[in-house]
Amino acid sequence: MPYTTKKITLGPNDTDRRLDRILRAFLSEVPLSGIYRMFRDGNVRVSGKKVDGSYRTKAGDSVEIRLPALDRAHAENFRNQGTSNKTDRDAARIFSGMIIVETANLALINKPRGMLTHGQGGVDEAAAAYYRERAASSLAFVPAPLHRLDRNTSGALAVSASLAGAVAFSAALREGHISKTYLALLDGELCDEETWVDELSRDSEAGITTIEKVGKHAEAYVRPLLYRGGYTLAAIQLGTGRTHQIRAQAASRGYALAGDTKYGGSSSRGGYLLHCASLGLPPGTSGPDQLVVVAALPAKASIILAELFGNGFSQCLPPELAATAIDDRR
């Protein structure tokens, strides 16, 4: 039987992992039974030696994978993994233009409104294209967004550039050590600071989050920056990160996002304005020191705010968000 063979030298993104789990991700089209058959038949070797699925990988390991060429299309796809084309280059350029700060392990980007975090044409595809050469040294690791912003929410988003970055950020996020501050345009005039504490329930089929007596705990700390003419520009710091949290909590208090008709907001041209203006990472996540990135507002959002609150609205932003003023690229 003819075989397609791929050889790869493992890098740090595949260190100290079970080889069978790596191959399950790398050969997603091959059933689990087929992967273990490859081990039994000696079609997976490390530095020329037959190994089993429990083998723990090391950086520098030379892995050879022999895959039965069951059909030409499958073999060609396997052989060409890691190659680039014009679409990839375009996606890589898009991702490069979104980067605010890039370290060895993370990229902190400013996601534009209208772009998906995951899916066709999304940030995940652009990140995979930008880091394609780096990812080629790994059998299973794929750079990807480490949290989510809705399609029509813009702003700061963390993307893994290495397995170490993904692990560190995810652990900090899980432990509540990642800080996020949003700018939101609300219906109504909110004059005083408020703390919003609720239990949220998610209806995935309807795509709506509601306030319930029993659900997932949600906290948000709201500071009005400007209020005039029936609108409020608020800075909202999240204590938790739930799907549609700000949209649901604001609407339940009569301050729905302007333009967010799904949650009862007023009609507004261009839809709602919700922007992750600041993302704070604790020491040890992206480097030895704390890192805080500020994402500039989309140009259209700045125009809307200037129309509502005057051209000097940015002077009323708190110092930590002053750099959000305008991003002409968006």
Question: What would the two tokens of residue 177 be?
Answer: 């050590």
- Cα Rg of the chain (Å, integer): 23
Q: What is the pLDDT of residue 2?
A: 62
Q: What are phi and psi of 271, to 5 degrees?
A: 80, -170
Give the integer Cα–Cα distance in Å for 241 and 113.
19
Q: What is the pLDDT of residue 71?
A: 41
Give the integer Cα–Cα distance in Å for 21 and 17.
7
CA angle 228–110–192, rounded 5-degree value: 25
CATH top-level class of 3-79:
alpha beta
Question: What would the two tokens of residue 19 be?
Answer: 């080889």
- Tell me whether the CATH fold assigned to 3-79 matches the one assigned to 177-324: no
What CATH superfamily is the domain 86-169?
Pseudouridine synthase (3.30.2350.10)
| pTM > 0.85: yes or no | no
Q: What is the pLDDT of residue 69?
A: 58
For the chain, the structural domain boundaries read 3-79, 86-169, 177-324
Residue with tokens 């990472």: 281
DSSP assignment string, 234-302: EEEEESS--TTHHHHHHHHTT-PBTT-GGGTPPP-TT---EEEEEEEE-TTSSSSS-EEEEPPPBHHHH
Residues 6+ apart with CB under 8 A from 169: 106, 146, 158, 160, 178, 281, 285, 286
Q: What is the pLDDT of residue 140?
A: 77
Closest listed residue to residue 232, CA positions, set 115, 313, 298, 132 = 313
Q: What is the 3-state secondary structure (H, E, C) of 144-205?
A: CECCCCCCCCEEEEEEECCHHHHHHHHHHHHCCCCEEEEEEEEECCCCCCEEEEEEEEEECC
Q: What is the pLDDT of residues 9-58, one digit of tens each?
A: 888 888 888 898 888 877 877 888 888 888 988 899 998 899 999 999 98
Q: Spell out, as residue ranges, where the chain has pLDDT lower than 50.
A: 70-75, 78-79, 82-83, 326-330
Residue with tokens 């679409």: 87
Pick among 3.20.20.70, 1.10.3720.10, 3.30.2350.10, 3.40.50.2000: CATH of 177-324: 3.30.2350.10
Residues 6+ apart with CB under 8 A from 50: 42, 44
- Contact at 8 Å (CB) between 90 and 96? no
Residues 6+ apart with CB under 8 A from 119: 125
Q: What is the pLDDT of residues 229-267, one digit of tens each?
A: 999 999 999 999 899 999 999 999 999 999 999 999 998
